[in-house]
Structure 1
């Protein structure tokens, strides 16, 4: 798994966008007091459930891998030329 250049910022953006998606879908709400790990897990599982991302293999579903999957997902959602996609 190769780390993306702006992976930390991409994960933050994925959490922000994923929280909005979760709320609009009616699947729950991300609270400011929730830990980053809980936010990542909830958004990852919702995206897998809705078949927006492919699930990780059994045994590989840990927080670092979920973070990477969310970073990849949001990098595909951002428009071309977005500052987080620059090399």
Structure 2
């Protein structure tokens, strides 16, 4: 897995976009007390469920790999 140039910023954007997406779909309401790790996992699983990103093999799912997948997804959003 090759790290992206501005991966941290892309992860922040992915969380922002993912929260909007989930709330617009009406499937989730994020709380201020939710940790970023919880948000990342929920957004990742939601995007996989909606077939917007390819799932990772279950034995490779971790915070690092989920962040990377979300960063790639965010880089393709407008």
| TM-score category (smaller protein) | over 0.9
Unaligned runs of 5+ in 2: none
Q: d(CA) in 1 for partners of 2:49 and 2:28?
A: 14
After TM superposition, list the pairs within 5 Å mapping 1:28-47 onto structure 2: 28-47=28-47
After TM superposition, list the pairs within 5 Å mapping 1:17-56 onto structure 2: 17-56=17-56
Q: d(CA) in 1 for partners of 2:25 and 2:46?
A: 10
Query: Number of residue pairs matched?
Result: 78
Would you identify which runs of 4 or more consecutive aligned residues in structure 1 move more than 3 Å? none
Task: Give me the TM-score of the superposition, normalised by structure 2.
Answer: 0.96
Q: d(CA) in 1 for partners of 2:14 and 2:32?
A: 15
Task: Give me the TM-score of the superposition, normalised by structure 1.
Answer: 0.86
Is the deviation greater in 64-73 or in 31-40? 31-40
3-state SS of paired residue (2:51): coil
- Normalized per residue, which structure has more helix? 2
